[in-house]
């Protein structure tokens, strides 16, 4: 399968390196994936991957209409602008779309899924939630027989790194944040992470698949970690637990409670032991019981693993509705349902 790659940052470079390093292995698994064309803001930047065999497009939108491209990987980021254009154009041209863009999917995922269904192509976004953890496939396919009742997780590695540092090393918030930025875990503008918006986007996508609702960040009560003090964390430890930023969605009466909030987790619960940039998600359902997944929630290589898994599924001919059911059947929470919970 021939691929167009829009975006060559950490994840894009990881995809190119993975496809090169594991070419023979993928062939043994019955799959051949080749990046034929790519686009990025700066063509001449130093990269950790070899792009000499890949044709260049100055405008990423051009990837969507290339005759030699069967699937486009969108790694531009942002809910609007070039990312949205590339996604919509790709699907309208009858090509598959794989994206790691949680903002785009939380804001326009249903619309994109509808275009994909109309065009008979696949829209996949495993990499948008929890990097290398295949949690969307697990929910959409592996647990598809269950009524899902609850999802609870550490969905943002940056916040978890900061809270872990504050807990184990007694660093204050500003110091821990600066350290996260030094390590490259946090952006220069870290507000999407530490104000909880990144977690909220991921939770909205998880909820959509789990409960069959339209992703809607505005229905999520969101509180970040900016106001968590060293005192809060020490006091939690004295009470036998840790403060973790938890994304939580749960059936309540006839609605879905959705919340992102720093909360107290007793040390005897698994989530309390999840440290550093690791992500973890707990899922409860009526027949499966409780399942927990834990792994690398971010980083170029782990996220590339998720992007490539989506591409392999597509190359193998696996087709599944993006949100686990037809896009038109996802329901929006009513204002009353939204007011009723939180």
Residues belonging to the active site = 202
Residue 329 touching its own copies (CB under 8 A): yes
Does 12 participate in binding its own copies (rule CB under 8 A)?
Answer: no
- Nearest alpha carbon to residue 7 among 74, 58, 103: 74
Q: Does 109 bind its own copies (CB under 8 A)?
A: no
Residue 189: φ, ψ to 5°: -100, 100
Output 112 or 133, the one with its CB closest to its own copies.
Answer: 133
Ranges within 256-285 binding its own copies (CB under 8 A): 270, 273, 285
Q: Which residues have CB under 8 Å from 309's CB, separation 6+? A: 126, 134, 137
| Site membership for its own copies, residue 14 (CB under 8 A) | yes
Which residue from 52, 289, 335, 336 is in contact with its own copies, where contact means CB under 8 A? 289
Q: Does 1 bind its own copies (CB under 8 A)?
A: no
Residue 149 backbone phi and psi in degrees, to 5:
-105, -30
Q: Which is nearer to its own copies, 64 or 256 (CB)?
A: 256
User: Applying CB under 8 A, which of residues 44, 287, 328, 336 lies at the interface with its own copies?
Assistant: 287
Query: Least CB distance from residue 7 to its own copies, whole Å?
Result: 17
- Taking the complex as a whole, the smallest distance from the CB of residue 241 to its own copies amounts, in Å, to 15
- Does 301 participate in binding its own copies (rule CB under 8 A)? yes
Rounded to the nearest whole angstrom, what is the least distance from the CB of residue 58 to its own copies in the complex? Answer: 28
- x/- map, 181-220, its own copies, by CB under 8 A: -------------------------------x--------
Among 51, 79, 88, 144, binds its own copies (CB under 8 A): 144
The footprint of its own copies on this chain (CB under 8 A) covers a number of residues equal to 59
Q: Are 278 and 296 in contact (CB under 8 A)?
A: yes
Among 56, 184, 240, 318, binds its own copies (CB under 8 A): 318
Q: Of the listed pieces 79-87, 90-98, 213-221, 321-329, which binds its own copies according to CB under 8 A?
A: 321-329
Minimum Å distance from CB 49 to its own copies?
13
The length of the chain in residues reads 342
CA distance 275 to 180: 13
- Identify the residue whose tokens are 């821990």: 176
Contact flag: residue 26 with its own copies (CB under 8 A): yes
Report in angstroms how near the CB of residue 21 gets to its own copies at its nearest. 7
- State yes or no: residue 288 binds its own copies (CB under 8 A): yes
CB nearer to its own copies: pick between 57 and 313: 313
Do the Cβ atoms of 185 and 298 come closer than 8 Å?
A: yes
Binding its own copies (rule: CB under 8 A), the pick from 55, 141, 149, 150 is: 141
* Contact residues for its own copies, defined by CB under 8 A: 14, 18, 21-22, 25-26, 28-31, 126, 132-134, 137-138, 141-147, 212, 270, 273, 285-296, 299, 301-302, 304-306, 308-309, 311-313, 316-321, 324-326, 329
């Amino acid at each position: 399968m021939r691929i167009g790659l829009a975006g060559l940052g950490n994840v894009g470079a990881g995809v190119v390196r993975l496809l090169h390093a594991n070419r023979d292995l993928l062939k043994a698994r019955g799959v051949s994936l080749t990046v034929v064309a790519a686009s990025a803001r700066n063509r001449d930047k130093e990269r950790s991957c070899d792009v000499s065999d890949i044709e260049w497009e100055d405008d990423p939108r051009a990837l969507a209409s290339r005759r030699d491209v069967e699937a486009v990987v969108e790694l531009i980021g942002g809910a609007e602008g070039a990312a949205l254009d590339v996604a919509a154009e790709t699907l309208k041209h009858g090509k598959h779309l794989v994206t790691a863009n949680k903002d785009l999917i939380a804001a326009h995922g249903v619309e994109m899924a509808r275009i994909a269904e109309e065009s008979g192509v696949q829209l996949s976004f495993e990499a948008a939630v929890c990097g290398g953890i295949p949690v969307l496939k697990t929910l959409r396919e592996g647990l598809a027989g269950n009524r899902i009742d609850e999802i609870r997780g550490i969905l943002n590695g940056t916040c978890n790194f900061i809270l872990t540092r504050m807990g184990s090393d007694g660093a204050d918030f500003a110091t821990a944040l600066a350290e996260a930025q030094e390590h490259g875990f946090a952006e220069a503008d870290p507000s999407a992470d530490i104000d909880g918006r990144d977690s909220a986007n991921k939770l909205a996508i998880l909820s959509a698949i789990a409960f069959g609702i339209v992703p809607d960040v505005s229905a999520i009560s969101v509180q970040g970690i900016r106001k968590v003090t060293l005192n809060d964390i020490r006091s939690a430890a004295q009470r036998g637990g840790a403060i973790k930023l938890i994304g939580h969605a749960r059936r309540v009466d006839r609605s879905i409670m959705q919340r992102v909030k720093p909360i107290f987790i007793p040390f005897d619960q698994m989530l309390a032991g999840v440290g550093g940039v690791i992500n973890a998600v707990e899922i409860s359902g009526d027949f499966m019981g409780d399942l927990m997944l834990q792994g690398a929630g971010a980083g170029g290589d782990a996220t590339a693993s998720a992007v490539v898994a989506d591409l392999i599924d597509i190359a193998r001919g696996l087709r599944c509705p993006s949100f686990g059911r037809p896009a038109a059947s996802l329901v929006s929470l009513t204002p009353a349902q939204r007011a009723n919970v939180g």
